[in-house]
Amino acid sequence: MVVDPVCGMEFSEKDAKLKYTYEGKVYYFCCEMCMEKFVKNPGKYTGSKSVRRSGCGCCGF
């Protein structure tokens, strides 16, 4: 299982359609909106101060 770093949605890596590599680590996303937010400000969603959410709403979660 992987977790979208923006919205916190959990899903299977094989089901992930979007991914982005940042500082050598691959991050997976549930939708383009979440990936765009991450790409604009990856520091907000990585590291020990990142906040876990319970879904972005775009996928019904």
Quote the pTM value. 0.80
pLDDT at 53: 60
pLDDT at 60: 55
pLDDT tens across 1-35, in order?
A: 999 999 999 999 998 889 999 999 999 999 999 99
- What span, in angstroms and rounded, lies between the C-alpha atoms of 1 and 36? 21
Rg of the chain over Cα atoms, rounded to whole angstroms, equals: 10
- CA dihedral (21, 23, 25, 28) positive or negative: negative
